[in-house]
Amino acid sequence: MDNLIKMLKDKITDKMPLEKIVDIFEQMCSIPLEEDMILFETGTFTTFAKEPVFQISLVRQFPNGDEEFYQIHVDIIYKATKENEVFTEATWDEDLSENIFDHIRKSEAFAFAKNKEYIKIEIYLDET
């Protein structure tokens, strides 16, 4: 799992286009794990600084061997605006009949965000 995080951190750079970030995340997801799920999530959230941000999250989840899950996150953070507050979604790959990455690339949130400048990218691992 550390190698997956390292791959993302090595390949994803600041100011990289959203399309390329999704491509790299998709490459990472093609590295086989025994069992995994992929989540695409968008929405406006309040940060620890109490400042709302719009976020596109790409998450790969897999069992930690102790009835919980590890989650590898790539969060692309944008300034919250009236325009992007309408985008809210949480879709798991297992709930789709199409490829999750095709779904992401066809989503309204992706179409909107790909032409906007983001504030930062966060890449991290957490557990449920």
The rounded average pLDDT for each run of 10 residues, N- to C-terminus, in the chain (128 residues) is: 92 95 97 94 84 95 91 96 95 97 98 95 94
Q: What is the pLDDT of residue 101?
A: 98
Domains: count for the chain: 1
Rounded to two decimals, the pTM is 0.93
Q: What is the pLDDT of residue 49?
A: 66
Contact 71, 128 (CB under 8 A): yes
Closest CA to 83 of 48, 42, 123: 42
Q: How far apart are CA 116 and CA 95, in angstroms?
A: 28
Q: Which domain holds residue 8?
A: 2-127
User: What's the DSSP call for residue 15?
Assistant: T
Q: How far apart are CA 128 and CA 126, in angstroms?
A: 7
